[in-house]
Structures are given as structure tokens and as C-alpha cells.
Chain A
Amino acid sequence: MTNAPSLTLVIVVAALIAVGVYLMLERSLTRVLIGLIIAGNGVNLLLLSAGGAAGGPPIVGMTPESEMADPLPQALVLTAIVISLGMSAFLLAMAYRSWQLNAHDEVQDDLEDRRVARRAALDRAAYADVDAGPVSLDEAAAEVRDETADVGDAPGSDQTGSDQTSADQTSAEPKGADPTGPDPTGPDPTGPDPTGPDPTGERGAP
């Protein structure tokens, strides 16, 4: 293969990228930046060697066609260099700003991540459900004012019983029902209510 790129170039590419990756694993933003620049140079050389072996200037009439270098990778590398220059400047500015604010340029952990992890470790709910309180859902449901019972002319004679219990509970515990509470439909007025007077004993055990 006459058109193969030089082996030295390939070794240099490998070395540059290895050094770059090593530096990128650091915590300090400046080192990360240097790592990115070095690895970027490695990739640029890789792009250059993708064009094959070195040759003469690619100008018609100056070099025979067979000895010309491939100009396209050179154009690509130029573009890539310009881009990485701009990005490096930006990252450097960010490192400086971080140093201004925190007196160091280390990449910080995400606080919210830590908070979520801590909550998970404590096995706590993500937030306190204000209207859940000490009253269980079933209890709250039993306390919801039953509109059909108030109307009176609803069919079914045994609904006075359930109306009674709900009225009792409301008077005993004035904390009462929130109209926007979790279950606005309330208990079934026609059926007997199993969670009537004392539901906490059964549910709150664990």
C-alpha cells in the first residue's frame, strides 16, 4: 500500500487520545479542558491520516495527480480546529467563572441528585401529603359529606344508618372533609360501610 498513512502518525494519535481520556477523567475543569484539547488534536490527526499518505500540494499543474495529497481532510481539520478553539475559549471562561464563584474549578455534584438519594436511603416519601395527615384515606372517605343522603328523597331506607355514622364522625373529628380531597365520591350510601367507626386499628399496623 503506497497510500497508507505513516505508522508514526497512528501511534501519535493513539498516545494523544489516551492522554486526553486520562485527563478528562479528572475532577478539575482545567484538566478536563486540557484533556479535551489533547484528545481533540489526536482526532484531528486521525482525520488527517484518513486522507492517506502525505503528498504534494493539491494544485492542478503543480503536482502530478498521483502525488497529490488529499485536500479534503485538511479542510475538515481546519474547520475542526477553529471549532475547538472557540469551544476551548468558552470552557476556559467557564472555569474562570467557576473559580470566581467557588474559589475552585472542580466539577460539582448535583445537589438534587444527592437529596433524592438521601431521601431514598431514609425511605421517606418524596413530599409530605398535607391533607393525608394522620387520617387514612378510608377514614377521610368515610367523613366526606354525602350529598345524596342530605337530599332525603333518594331511594333506599337503610341509608339513614350510614348517614348516621358519617354525621357522628364529623362531629367527633371536626378536622373534616376537604372538598378537593382525594376521593370526592365518598362511601356508597346504600351498602354497609365496613370501615365505619374504627378503621385505624386495622390499617395503620405496620
Chain B
Amino acid sequence: MTESLAWLIPLPVVLPLSAAGLALALWRHGRAQGVISVVALSLSLIASLTLLFAADSGPLVVDIGSWGAPVGINLVADRVSTLMLTVSFAVTLAVLVYSLAQGVEDDDAETPVAIFHPTYLVLTAGVADAFLSGDLFNIFVAFEVLLAASYVLITLGGTRERIRAGTIYVVVSLLSSLLFLTAIAIVYAATGTLNLAQLALRIPELSSGVQLVLQVMLLLAFSIKAAIFPLSAWLPDSYPTAPAPVTAVFAGLLTKVGIYAIIRTQTLLFPGGRLDDLLMVAALATMVVGILGAVAQNDIKRLVSFTLVSHIGFMLFGISLSSEAGLGAAIFYVTHHITVQTALFLVVGLVERRGGSTSLDDLGGLAKVAPLLAALFFIPAMNLAGIPPFSGFLGKVGLLEAGVRDGRPLALVLVVGGVLTSLLTLYALVKAWNKAFWQPVPETVRPVRLPRRMVGSAGFLVAFGLAITVFAGPLYGYTERAAALLHDRGVYVLAVLPDGQRGEGESADFSDDADAAEQAQTDQEVDRLVEQDVQQDQIDREAATGTPGGEP
């Protein structure tokens, strides 16, 4: 069954890309563009949902153009990537409906639809490609695709404020691409390959100094994308000026693509956890500095942007533990956070519409004049802060549990930092709630009817966030299995290179004698890799069981 479903893998990339071309050709027909976008994203969502269930029984691999794996490019759909894919498409679809409604409402003045739809579809294609890619350079191309689309979206309309914000965003992104390309050059110089599976085999053979250089370079490039603390200053400057749906989809997806790339490279290529301490410090700084920034803000969009930075720290916390429990919790947190952060930005867009401003100075009394809006804000806000029944709480408990089980002093500091950050998140959001939703209604707030479809799509995302809470059991099980798969690198490598040598496609290898020798060598490498992982697992298990038992 899994064999027959592999053809679905390219669809989440190909469908939005083709639809983008079609939408661009039909630029005069706004309505047709909307239909095309919705259909393309819905089909992609169905494809990724199918893949989500199919990939649970083992990673699916497709060799593009039937070129064998290390020669050609391959797409890999395993548990992590399909989960990310499914959540992203659900979120992008909801945001699309929201922006369609907004376009109808504003008579397309705010979002020039002719450019908006094709760019938006290209963005989703880039995101999907980044999740599915099994090749480092293809990840680079996917990043460039989604970034190029995001440059257009963030400067939509070309107003003074957006050009200012866009300049910062574009320059920082170009710089991070440059760093990524440098990292790729060094990786290729050191190993002679860019295929992730083959890299997993070859990187352990490098000297430890070179390994460290590669790891740091890749981390640096991805950390800018993911907005990890010392490299996060660009985000709150640039995101809030874009139109609400654009900010929402950026906040939900783009930083998570960086986090996904970190997860993928750290687990597959550098499993030893050498930089754990560095990552932990970065996670702590991201959490605390980000949320302190949020507390100081007076503009609700910026406040929410700062909480976004802060909560990236939680995901990094899970990654830095480099244990299965930590990774599983981090992946769960990513799914939770994509939904909740996007929902919050959409609702803030509604608040801006209803209250006429995003500045807390000019807002007030919205709970009285728009009770439904208040409920829509309150639920994701509490979810983000991690109030018990919601999924944010479950994700945080998972992370804190994993941190305590880890037992290293730095991990315990992070546990404390995580709790503190949650409290400060609650403080920042309650502050915004108190000012925007309580207090007397200022005279500037005019009665505005909120478009039903905008409220509906924002409500859908809020409900989706609640559904993550309701189905947290199975979902958490899935993320834990995903984490286990990430730890068991042999599965990934063997899925891509079934004989430890070549993918399933064709690629002429004219040096047959060399091939046989190399084949035997690679078989040994795979065996050694699996062995290493088993040993590492044993060490982990001993550490996990030994530490709590050893302490009085």
C-alpha cells in the first residue's frame, strides 16, 4: 500500500506551483483565482493527510525523474514532515479563506489580488518543498522559493511603512541565504554529497573539528530563519506591518520551517548532541528576552510577534535535550504553535478592523461591543500561555517533563525559564486583554460589521487549536513515534538508499568494479550507523533511568 502512495508525495509541491501559474495567467479574473487557490490548497491538504497516515507505517520516498537517490533529488515523507505538511496546509487554507473575505470586503484595495494569489501559492509550495526535501541544496532552493514569495507579500502595496519593514526583512533573509549557501559549499567540499541520507553516512567519518564547523554553519543559517534570540531582532520589526493574513501565515509557517530544518539536520546529520549546551542557552535567551520584549510593547501586533519569538525558544528547548521525549514534545509544540499563533494573528487582524487600531492606547471595551471577537481572542491567548485544558499546556508539560528527566543543571534552569516565560506570556496577553477588551469604549471605536467569512475562518483555526487539545492523545503518540523515527537514523537512510548505495531510480554507474567495492563498504557503514544509534540509545536509556534513581 505504501508503495502505491508514493506518487502523492510531489503533489503538495506541484499542485500549488501549477495553480500559481494558472492564477497568474488569469490575473484579470479575481474570482477564478480564488477558486483555483482554494481548490489547489484543498487537494494538497487531502494529499498530505493521506501521506500522514501512510507515512506512519514507514517513510515514503520518491526519486524525482527516476534518478537514483544520491545522483538525483529525492523527496522523503516521513512522520515529522507529513505532520508539518498537514498542519501547514490546514492553516494556509484557513488564511486563504480569510484573505479572500478580506479582499471582497475591502474591494481589493488592501490586497491586490492579481499578485496575491500566485505569490501565496508559491509560498505554500516552497514551504511544502522545504518539509519534504531529502537534499540539502533542494532545501536551499525551497527556502529561496518561499522567501522570494514572502518578499513580495511583505511589501504588498509598497507603502512607506511596508517598504521600511520589508527592507530589513529582505536584507536579513538574503544574508541568511548567503550563510546557508556557504554552509552547503563547505558540506560539499567535506563530503562530496548533499543528499541527506548519504550525508548521514559520511559525516561521522569526518574529523570532529570539521563536523563542528558544518554543524555551526547550518545552525547559524537556520537560526536566522527560525528567529532564535541573538538572530531574532528582524522579526518583530518586519512582521507587524504586513496585512493581517500575510503576517498570520508568516508567523505560523516561516519560522517553523527553520525549526524543522534544525530538527532534521541535528537529528539526522549530527546526532551526538555536541551543541546541546549552546542550544539550551540560546533557547533560554530566546524565551526570556522574547517575552520581556512582548511585555514592553504597546502595539498588539508587535506584542504577539514578540510572543512568537519567545515561544520559538520552547521548541529549541525540546530539540536541545536531544532525547526522544524532548523531540516528541518539541514536534507537538510546533504543531500546536503553528495553529495557535496563526489564529491569534488573524484575530488581531479582526481586532484592528473592529477597533480601528492595533495600538493599545486607542483600543478598549471590545468585550462589550464584540463579545464573539473577545472569545476568539481569549481562547488562543490562553492556549498560547499554556492554561491547563489547552494544547499549549500539554506541550509545555511534555517539554518540562523531558527537561526534568534529562536532569542536567542547564536543563533544569530551562525548565524554570519555561515556567517563567509561560507566566510572563500570560501577563503580556492579559495586559493586552485588559486594555483592548475591558476598559470603557473609546469614542474612536465605530460600529463596524465584521465580515462573516473572516470571523468564520479565524474561528475555524481557533477550533482547530481546540481539536489539537481534544485529539492530543493520538497526536502526542504520533509525535513521539516521529521522534523515535528521527532517532533511528538507519530507517531514514535505508528508505532513501535501499541497498545502502543507490535510490530506486536509474542512474548509470559505469565504474562497476569500484561500485561493488563501494557497495560492500557502504553496507558496513549502514551497519555501523545502526550500531552507533543502538549504543547511543542504550546510553540515553541508562542516563534516563539512572539519574532519577541515583539521586536521593
Pair A126/B296 contact, Cβ less than 8 Å: yes
Within A114-135, the residues touching B (CB, 8 Å) are 115-116, 119-120, 126-131
Sample of 30 A–B contacts (CB below 8 Å): A24-B171, A24-B175, A29-B167, A29-B171, A36-B178, A40-B178, A40-B181, A44-B181, A46-B185, A47-B184, A50-B186, A60-B510, A73-B185, A76-B137, A79-B137, A83-B144, A87-B174, A90-B151, A91-B170, A94-B167, A94-B170, A98-B167, A107-B171, A110-B168, A110-B237, A112-B298, A119-B298, A130-B439, A130-B440, A131-B439
Main SS at interface, chain A: helix
Indicate which residue in B155, B186, B439 contacts A94 across the interface (CB closer than 8 Å): B155
Task: Report the count of interface residues on A (CB-CB < 8 A).
Answer: 47
In angstroms, Cα B182 to Cα A115, docked, is 38
Pair A90/B185 contact, Cβ less than 8 Å: no
B494 at interface, CB cutoff 8 A: no
Which of B325-333, B360-368, B446-454 contacts the other chain? Answer: B360-368
Report A-chain residues with C-beta under 8 Å of the C-beta of B148: 83, 86-87, 90
With A115-B298, A129-B439 as given contacts, are A46 and B182 in contact (CB-CB < 8 Å)?
yes
Report A-chain residues with C-beta under 8 Å of the C-beta of B151: 87, 90
Pair A91/B174 contact, Cβ less than 8 Å: yes
Pair A120/B296 contact, Cβ less than 8 Å: yes
Chain B min CB distance to A122 (Å): 13
Indicate which residue in B167, B189, B510 contacts A107 across the interface (CB closer than 8 Å): B167
In angstroms, Cα B237 to Cα A92, docked, is 21
A97 at interface, CB cutoff 8 A: yes
Most chain B Cβ neighbours within 10 Å, of A101, A119, A120, A127: A127
Pair B166/A127 contact, Cβ less than 8 Å: no
Indicate which residue in A36, A46, A112 contacts B174 across the interface (CB closer than 8 Å): A36
With A50-B189, A87-B148, A101-B160 as given contacts, are A36 and B171 in contact (CB-CB < 8 Å)?
yes
B164 at interface, CB cutoff 8 A: yes
List the A residue with the shortest CB-CB distance to B166.
A94
Chain B min CB distance to A72 (Å): 8
Chain A min CB distance to B185 (Å): 4
Pair B188/A113 contact, Cβ less than 8 Å: no
Report B-chain residues with C-beta under 8 Å of the C-beta of A120: 296
List the A residue with the shortest CB-CB distance to B167.
A107
List the B residue with the shortest CB-CB distance to A36.
B174
List the B residue with the shortest CB-CB distance to A86.
B148
B438 at interface, CB cutoff 8 A: yes
In angstroms, Cα B144 to Cα A76, docked, is 13
In angstroms, Cα B184 to Cα A145, docked, is 69
Pair A51/B298 contact, Cβ less than 8 Å: no
Pair A102/B160 contact, Cβ less than 8 Å: yes
Most chain A Cβ neighbours within 10 Å, of B181, B237, B297, B299: B181
A54 at interface, CB cutoff 8 A: no
B337 at interface, CB cutoff 8 A: no
In angstroms, Cα B299 to Cα A167, docked, is 40
List the A residue with the shortest CB-CB distance to B359.
A127
Interface residues of B (CB under 8 A from A): 137, 141, 144, 148, 151-152, 155, 158, 160, 163-168, 170-171, 174-175, 177-178, 181-182, 184-186, 188-189, 237, 296-299, 302, 360-361, 364, 367-368, 431, 434-435, 438-440, 510-511
Report B-chain residues with C-beta under 8 Å of the C-beta of A127: 298, 360-361, 435
Pair A97/B296 contact, Cβ less than 8 Å: no
Pair B188/A73 contact, Cβ less than 8 Å: yes
List the B residue with the shortest CB-CB distance to A5.
B189
With A46-B182, A116-B296 as given contacts, are A32 and B171 in contact (CB-CB < 8 Å)?
yes
Report A-chain residues with C-beta under 8 Å of the C-beta of B144: 83, 87
Pair B440/A131 contact, Cβ less than 8 Å: yes
In angstroms, Cα B510 to Cα A38, docked, is 40
In angstroms, Cα B168 to Cα A91, docked, is 11
A8 at interface, CB cutoff 8 A: no
Indicate which residue in B155, B165, B182, B434 contacts A43 across the interface (CB closer than 8 Å): B182
Indicate which residue in B141, B163, B237 contacts A79 across the interface (CB closer than 8 Å): B141
Pair B185/A50 contact, Cβ less than 8 Å: yes
Report A-chain residues with C-beta under 8 Å of the C-beta of B511: 65
Within A58-91, the residues touching B (CB, 8 Å) are 60, 65, 72-73, 76, 79-80, 83, 86-87, 90-91
Report A-chain residues with C-beta under 8 Å of the C-beta of B361: 127-128
Chain B min CB distance to A127 (Å): 5
A39 at interface, CB cutoff 8 A: yes
In angstroms, Cα B495 to Cα A181, docked, is 62
Indicate which residue in A60, A80, A180 contacts B438 across the interface (CB closer than 8 Å): A180
List the B residue with the shortest CB-CB distance to A70.
B192
Report A-chain residues with C-beta under 8 Å of the C-beta of B438: 180
List the A residue with the shortest CB-CB distance to B161.
A111
Report B-chain residues with C-beta under 8 Å of the C-beta of A112: 297-299, 302
Pair A98/B163 contact, Cβ less than 8 Å: yes
Report B-chain residues with C-beta under 8 Å of the C-beta of A126: 296-298, 360, 431
Report A-chain residues with C-beta under 8 Å of the C-beta of B185: 43, 46-47, 49-50, 73
Report B-chain residues with C-beta under 8 Å of the C-beta of A39: 178
